[in-house]
Amino acid sequence: MPVINTLIFDLGGVLYDIDVNRTTDAFRSLNISNLEQMHQSLVTENVYNNLETGSISPSEFRDAVRKYSMTQLTDDQIDDAWNALLVGFPEQRVSLLLRLKQNYQIMLLSNTNQIHFENYTSRFQQQYVLHFESLFHRPFYSYRMGFRKPDPEIFRLLISQTGIEPGSAVFIDDLAENVEAARSTGLNAIHLCETSDVCALFDDGRLKEELI
């Protein structure tokens, strides 16, 4: 059995609760008549992907939303709808990470974008009076790295930038394709099923041995 000294967490769907339907509903409430067409255009033109890899700026993203929705939505209206999917960071998971930091090197690897990042880090600070990034020894964000999961290159970059031994690390994600990509780079990986809470993977500040 390998000696595990590093844990790498996904954010949305693992540590942070999200609900994509809330963003869909929020945009619908703005009376966008071609909502499905707008979404499809943003997918087809790689707007979502480019935002999450930092290839376009938040301003360019907002302009794309206005273009494909054929509206004159304000920046705040777009940001509020876009951020609606961010539900929150449950207290038990904050406590879990603080305990785990005593036994492991803790990292974050998240597909995220600047608009979401600024929102959830600000809200976290207000709720817990604690800096979001203090939960991790090293946080990594797709919009700063230029790649997003499941591209194996994002895992290779994390490995090279941190110098970790892949066999001594465990990556935890809620999407099977991301788990498989992590494994292709030598990392151990756990697929967190939709019905599971990440806290159930640990016992007394340690990853359960049977999971490795």
Q: Which two tokens stand for residue 105?
A: 């090197």
CB 53 within 8 A of CB 147: yes
Q: Is 132 helix (H, G, I), strand (E, B) or coil?
A: helix
Ranges of each domain in the chain: 6-18+88-211, 20-83
Neighbours of 35 (CB within 10 A): 15
Q: Would you say the C-alpha torsion 23, 75, 142, 121 has a positive or negative sign? A: negative
Q: Which two tokens stand for residue 45?
A: 């033109």
Helices (H), the chain: 20-28, 35-44, 47-52, 58-69, 75-83, 91-100, 114-128, 142-145, 152-162, 176-184
Closest CA to 110 of 174, 162, 50: 174
Write out the chain's pLDDT in tens, 212 residues. Answer: 679 999 999 999 999 999 999 999 999 999 999 999 999 999 999 999 999 999 999 999 999 999 999 999 999 999 999 999 999 999 999 999 999 999 999 999 999 999 999 999 999 999 999 999 999 999 999 999 999 999 999 999 999 999 999 999 999 999 999 999 999 999 999 999 877 899 999 998 999 988 87
Asked: is 6-18+88-211 a CATH 3.30.450.20 domain? The reply is: no
Neighbours of 75 (CB within 10 A): 14
**Tell me, what amino acid is at 92?**
Q
pLDDT of residue 97: 98
Q: Is 175 helix (H, G, I), strand (E, B) or coil?
A: coil
Spatial separation of the C-alpha atoms in residues 119 and 26, rounded to whole Å:
16
CATH class entry, domain 20-83: mainly alpha
pLDDT of residue 159: 98
pLDDT of residue 194: 78
Closest CA to 59 of 192, 5, 95, 50: 50
pLDDT of residue 1: 62
Closest CA to 124 of 112, 136, 116, 132: 132
Q: Which residues contact 32 (CB under 8 A, 6 or more apart)?
A: 38, 69, 71
